[in-house]
Amino acid sequence: MRKILVAGNWKSNGTASSNKALVEKLNALVPGANVDLLVCPPFVYIPSTLECASGGHLAVGAQNCSATEEGAYTGECTAGMLKDLGLEWVILGHSERRSLFGETDDVVAVKVGLALAAGINPIVCVGETLEEREAGQAEAVCLRQMEAVLARSEPNENWVIAYEPVWAIGTGKTASSADAQQMHSVLRKYLSEKVGETAKKIRILYGGSVKAGNAAELFSKADIDGALVGGASLSADEFAGIIAATNA
């Protein structure tokens, strides 16, 4: 049985004080949660968030890492540096990184390899745009993105895949639970073909306007093992509601 993972991607939001208040409230709202909980603050707030989360139920991860190792790469943060901070998780290949910052499938694959080499578990994001879905290319796009990563790295049971239909991120639109399950099933089958029984242990999250009101229906599906939450993770009450939905 795969343990549910609910991960919050704070994106470029928060301050030291607001993050502290958010973590403290979350720890009060979700004591002893029977799911894995993760928050991913901006780079500059990782150390302070780690301090606030210490002794609680929240793990802390990063939203990205460099496609380089240490060296003369101004402004970059390597996977090794994240590991040095004590992190175990990093989000890679998020659609905003792909669309706004030009990250290709190959760049994402390199980052995944570097994260693994540093001992950090990747949350590998895949997903199609509305145009690609309407053209009947949704599955092909997601599998192409997966193939690039698997060409460089072999998944283990600590990997996480996040299916995020691009058209549902930050728009208020959500794929139906049936549509989400269908894509998750496709990804699980693909992983089974590549890594056999290990695929049964790899968690596949859904991301894309997940809220407390739609989380229970999503979590009820066989191949949806949690959520990668954006805006709703900035509200302790809403994020706690999503976590509570894992028991619905």
Helix (H) or strand (E) holding 90: strand 89-92
Phi-psi region of 46 (alpha: psi -120 to 50; beta: other; left: phi over 0): alpha
- The DSSP annotation for 116-173 comes to HHHT-EEEEEE---HHHHHTT-HHHHHHHHHHHHHTT----TT-EEEE--GGGSSSS-
**What is the number of domains present in the chain?**
1
CA dihedral 103, 84, 230, 188 (to 10 degrees): 70
Residue located via tokens 């720890």: 27
Phi-psi region of 35 (alpha: psi -120 to 50; beta: other; left: phi over 0): beta
Query: Domain of 145?
Result: 5-247
- Mean pLDDT per 10-residue interval, the chain, length 248 residues: 95 97 93 88 98 93 98 98 98 96 98 98 96 94 98 96 89 84 97 96 94 94 97 96 89
Q: Is 61 within 8 Å of 87 (Cβ atoms)?
A: yes
- Residue 73: both structure tokens together: 């790469």
Rounded distance between C-alpha atoms, residue 68 and residue 21, angstroms: 34
| pLDDT at res. 30 | 86
Shortest CA distance to 121 belongs to which of 45, 65, 190? 65
CATH number of the domain within which 90 lies: 3.20.20.70
Q: pTM for the complete prediction?
A: 0.96
The residue annotated as part of the active site, out of 94, 103, 184, 238, is: 94
Helix-strand-coil percent breakdown of the chain, rounded to 5?
50, 15, 35
| pLDDT at res. 248 | 67
| pLDDT at res. 247 | 83
Per the annotation, the verdict on 94 as an active-site residue is: yes
Rounded distance between C-alpha atoms, residue 58 and residue 37, angstroms: 5
Per the annotation, the verdict on 96 as an active-site residue is: no
| pLDDT at res. 208 | 87
Helix axes 16-29, 46-53, angle to 10 degrees: 30
Rounded distance between C-alpha atoms, residue 246 and residue 60, angstroms: 20
| pLDDT at res. 31 | 73
The residue annotated as part of the active site, out of 96, 132, 164, 238, is: 164
